Amino acid sequence: MKLFDVYPLNNIEIVKAQNSSVWDADGNKYLDLYGGHAVISIGHTHPHYVRRLTEQLNKVGFYSNSVIISQQIELAEKLGNLSAKPDFQLFLCNSGAEANENALKLASFYNKRKKIIAFKGAFHGRTSLAVSATDNPKIIAPVNETDNVTFLPFNDEQALDNAFKSFGNEISSVIIEGIQGVGGIREASKGFLQKIRSLCDRYDAVYIADSVQCGYGRTGQFYSHDYAGVEADIYSMAKGMGNGFPIGGISISPKFKPWYGELGTTFGGNHLACAAALAVLEVMEKDDLMKNAEKIGDYLIKELKQIPQITEIRGRGLMIGIELSEEYANVKKDLLFKHRIFTGEAKPNVIRLLPALNITKEHADQFLTALKAELNK
């Protein structure tokens, strides 16, 4: 049997990782500023994380939600306090796509409506509803095609107004990333998020804040939507939530009153997943990693603005998009293989930085030196 549809972006195997460094099978060391799609939030093999998981595995690794799992209660309380949403409810699942799937479904249960407003450039996952709300026809199979999703221009308040005027009482939910990841590190404006909140309130639609990639402290605040001073009805999360262990969830406003069996999962919120998520929150709090994300992110953005070959710098905290002119479209590859630095890309000429929240100024300077060396050739 062969693997299906596997095309690694980089022709290397990672066999060891520690903090913000990874090593390939030949012993070469790389600086990881991508974190496996924003997953590594507290660094690879963090001692507290390893200890938490090991201790839990020595007790019980898994049982389903057919029994009480006290770690879920502990996680909900910890997450509520750190995110400043202590009165919200937590539903745990396994991934970001699953989180968005359940968020969209919960919204439809709430107001008995079908229509979803999403945005150009959006990526919400690869499950049924999530992929239908994703602006990428290449990954939408015929079975996912639906008339229930309308895509609007990102950050276009007039288009949003017009959509609600046209079918406001049919709209179940509006789903939006505070900063689009796959879409090119594009940040929703404060006014745009406030407009969504206002229209959702007026028409009893549900505001879903997709925080899968842009949340969990990455921008310097717990959810990237927080800077706009509005509160969403549902926040979806995953990626950095488990630092590599699969876990996702949705944080749900108290206005939703669940009925038994409304949402469900076999593996979601299992003992090991909760141990991983608790370790992440404990390290984030103890080491003040949201503050570090803001500090190092501000430093990177300030320094990047001094480089003339950069067309545009977008993002916030440690979610940064660096747009270069087309002639530098191969910079990511050069950085990766020549300078041994892992970065991502949103399109060929946009470098995407999604490092662990505990990277240092020295890591930032290493990247800046390599980038300048390539651009000044």
The domains found in the chain, sorted by start residue, are: 14-46+288-375 (3.90.1150.10), 48-286 (3.40.640.10)
Strand 29-32 to strand 234-237: parallel, antiparallel, or no bridges (unpaired)?
unpaired
Q: In the predicted model, what is the mean pLDDT of the chain?
A: 95
Does position 265 have pLDDT exceeding 90, yes or no?
yes
- The residue among 330 and 72 whose pLDDT is bigger is 72
Q: How confident is the model at residue 331 (pLDDT cuts 50, 70, 90)?
A: low
Sign of CA dihedral 251, 257, 262, 267: positive
Residue type, 301: I
Does position 329 have pLDDT exceeding 70, yes or no?
no
Closest-CA residue to 133 (of 143, 120, 142): 120
**Structural element, H or E, at residue 334:** helix 331-338
- The residue among 133 and 374 whose pLDDT is bigger is 133
The Cα 175–Cα 193 span in angstroms is 11
The Cα 191–Cα 214 span in angstroms is 18
Q: How confident is the model at residue 113 (pLDDT cuts 50, 70, 90)?
A: very high
User: Exposed, middle or buried, 223 (CB in 10 Å: 0-12/13-18/19+)?
Assistant: buried
Is 72 in contact with 272 (CB distance < 8 Å)? Answer: no
What pTM did the predictor assign? Answer: 0.96
Residue 45's contacts (CB-CB under 8 Å, 6 or more residues apart) are 17, 18, 19
Q: How confident is the model at residue 137 (pLDDT cuts 50, 70, 90)?
A: very high
The pLDDT value recorded for residue 334 is 65
Token readout for 126 is 């690869």
Cα Rg for the chain, rounded, in angstroms? Answer: 20
